[in-house]
Amino acid sequence: MSRTKAQIDIAAKNRTLAAESRGVLRGRGIFTVNLIGSPGCGKTSLLEATARHFGERMAVIEGDIKTDLDAKRIEAAGIQAVQIETGGACHLDAAQVAGAIARLDLESVEILFIENVGNLVCPSSVDLGEDVKVAVVSLPEGDEKPAKYPALFVRAGAVVINKTDLLPYLDYSIERAAADCRKLSNKAVVMPLSCRTGEGMDMWISYLEGAIASR
């Protein structure tokens, strides 16, 4: 009988790959966002709206279980996009993202978005090489989602609260959701906005421009 006390981090392999991607991206002065939220919260819509501002300064890696529909939407907005189909997996991993980065032309790119598979739990703990995790929630989901899914929100550097145009139809307290987000991640920048009307998009854009400038 042999007994070994250990401290083996099973995420170590993924973390090494993520660190390599981070090195490549930072070396080029690119700021990278890992966008995480439920299916339907508006991640792709947010990227379409963001594309209007950044144009060719922006590129997108799309993660979905199935189809390249989202990459097609991003390309239709005039933006370079690479689709990853996970074939069932509930989150992207660093190897998939490294492969996608290799397929992008990074020449004019200053900001890279990785739209993770729609899921509020599994993507949270998987490092992809990003500079920041941005959580996206939307009003129809209810204002208690940050409280219920702390694993994502403790890691979030920013939170987008999308679909504010629906406020008149729902019992949603933006204050409550924002307060919970700040409890979970003290320095998180919380940005209520609507992709539909454009309300609040200016704060999102200046947050991103600030992040690029600090690269």
Whether 35 and 120 have beta carbons less than 8 Å apart is answered as no
Supply the minimum distance, in Å, between the C-beta of residue 120 and ligand GDP. 11
What is the C-alpha separation between 49 and 134, in angstroms, rounded?
Answer: 16
Map the footprint of Mg ion across residues 35-64, applying CB under 5 A.
Answer: 43-44
Determine contact, residues 28/129, Cβ cutoff 8 Å.
no
75 in contact with ligand GDP (CB under 6 A): no
Q: φ and ψ at 54, to 5 degrees?
A: -90, -25
Q: What would the x/- binding string for another protein be over residues 23 to 62, using CB under 8 A?
A: ----------------------------------------
Does residue 43 belong to the site contacting ligand GDP (CB under 6 A)? yes
Q: Which stretch binds ligand GDP (CB under 6 A): 25-33, 141-149, 170-178, 194-202?
A: 194-202
195 contacts ligand GDP (rule: CB under 6 A): yes
Of 190, 155, 188, nearest in space to 174 by CA: 190
Q: What are the structure tokens assigned to 186, written together?
A: 């003290």
Binding mask 133-172 for ligand GDP (x = CB under 6 A): -----------------------------xx-xx------
In this structure, are residues 60 and 103 in contact, taking their beta carbons and an 8 Å threshold? no
Distance between CA atoms of residues 190 and 51, nearest Å: 20
Q: Which residues form the interface with ligand GDP (CB under 6 A)?
A: 37, 39-45, 118, 162-163, 165-166, 194-196
Give the residues lining the site for Mg ion (CB under 5 A).
43-44, 70
